[in-house]
Amino acid sequence: MIASFVRNNYASLKGPARTLGLLHFLDSVGGGIFTSGSAVYFIVVADLPAAQVGLGLSLAGLSGFVSSVLMGMAADRIGARRLLFLTLLAIGVAYCFYPAVGSLPAFFAVVSVVGALEWGSGPLFHTLIAELVPEGDRVSARAALRSVFNVGFSVGALMSAALIGIGGSAMQALPLGNALSFLLAAGLVLRLPATPASPTKTERVSRFRALKDIPFLGVIGASSLLALHSAVLMVGIPLWLVTSDKLPRSVVPVVFVLNTILVVLFQVKCAKGSETLDGAVGAARKAGLISVAACLALAIGNITTAWVAGAFALTAVLLVTFAELWQSAGAFGLGFGLAPEAARGEYLGAFHLHMVIQAAVGPAVVSFLVIHHGSYGWLTLCLIFLAGTAAIAPAVRRARKNSLTPVSA
């Protein structure tokens, strides 16, 4: 049964995509090791103030606003494969500096560099998928890679828990383990076929073309609203569980375990149909409506008794997870479908901003609404998701029409 699932779920990972899958798995194991234990590492091992750690992580997200587009532009000029190799090497080296961090200035410097490189590597990876995977298989391959990522991240999280349990100098392996994963992943990049830089020397492409493309920016804006489901799952639901006192706090880890399992099992299935722009829009709208239903469940659960609240919380976790599955599938289709070949890296880098925006702003918005406004906060989030749902189809329609018009240099 397991063998059948693996064979069917990852059938699209063949040829170069299989190497990308192994690369993604190594990256995700390292990410699971460090991300799961980063709060403990920064506060206990590096002895940094908790509030300043949060500020540093925000700086890492802000650095992604610049690097995501610039790295995509650079990929168009020198090639995504070469740039990804150099970037993964640089990230691996940067993580080796964490054990030497003993002051806030050093922490801010290292975390900003790491953040810029990590956010910038995302568009490079997506560009390689577009260059190495046949057009009809790109969305399903990207979905399979996301499933692989969750498997690897879970393995890394278990390793992180073991290292934290041992304590002492063993916790230095948290950043160093991630560094090793990036260095190994960089080695795998060299096994991928070389890809040509685009555009060619004879083509003239406007600088910052994607950021001048107002209809495309509308797609990024609408997608940013729909991607807020991530902050609801990672921040909103855990905060609600901890502050409401209706359920034991031990339920919080169960939320993430359940989410991870469902992503591994269903991401590929939910991506079917998103290969076209119309299908991707449909998936995005479905995700928005499901997110609305999840927030309504939490708004109702906030004013009920403990056991009833538990049922609503479980329902909300399931709904948010499926919203995540369909929003991710829609984003895969929109990113690949709207990026012109001559500026593919730049457009994929710009589209990646919807995740950067969500990561930088989402947790603060969701935590403010949930902590200070209770059920009204969840209802406000419903309105945000409804706005994204209503905006995505018209935004994609304008972007598709605009893509037929050449952009002057």
The pLDDT tens digits for 192-213 are: 987 665 554 434 456 778 888 9
Answer with the residue of higher pLDDT: 102 or 248.
102
pLDDT at 250 over 80: no
**23-38: average pLDDT:** 90
Answer with the residue of higher pLDDT: 146 or 208.
146
pLDDT value of residue 40: 82
Answer with the residue of higher pLDDT: 313 or 20.
20
pLDDT at 49 over 90: no
Task: Determine the structural domain holding residue 255 and report its residue range.
Answer: 208-403
pLDDT at 300 over 60: yes
Separation of CA 199 from chain center? 27
Greatest mean pLDDT range, 98-107, 167-176, 219-228: 219-228
pLDDT value of residue 6: 74
**What total number of domains does the chain contain?**
2
Q: Give residue-wise pLDDT tens across range 112-136.
A: 999 999 999 999 999 999 999 988 8
Residue ending a domain, among 193, 225, 244, is 193
The answer to whether position 6 is within a domain reads: no
Two tokens at 216?
A: 């495309």
Answer with the residue of higher pLDDT: 237 or 185.
185
pLDDT value of residue 409: 35
pLDDT value of residue 121: 93
pLDDT band at 405 (very low <50, low <70, confident <90, very high): very low
Same domain, 170 and 221: no
The answer to whether position 305 is within a domain reads: yes
Same domain, 170 and 252: no
Same domain, 248 and 213: yes
Same domain, 186 and 51: yes
The answer to whether position 288 is within a domain reads: yes
Total-model pTM:
0.85
Residue ending a domain, among 193, 227, 257, is 193
Rounded to whole angstroms, the Cα distance separating 201 from 147 reads 38
| Total Cβ atoms within 10 A of residue 195 | 18
pLDDT band at 403 (very low <50, low <70, confident <90, very high): low
Same domain, 229 and 369: yes
Q: Give residue-wise pLDDT tens across range 91-112.
A: 999 999 999 888 889 999 999 9
pLDDT value of residue 1: 67
pLDDT value of residue 407: 41
Same domain, 153 and 253: no
Same domain, 234 and 345: yes
pLDDT value of residue 198: 56
Same domain, 90 and 146: yes
**244-253: average pLDDT:** 69
Torsion angle of C-alpha atoms 74, 80, 399, 144, degrees rounded to 10: -150
pLDDT at 399 over 50: yes
Same domain, 335 and 225: yes
| Total Cβ atoms within 10 A of residue 169 | 9
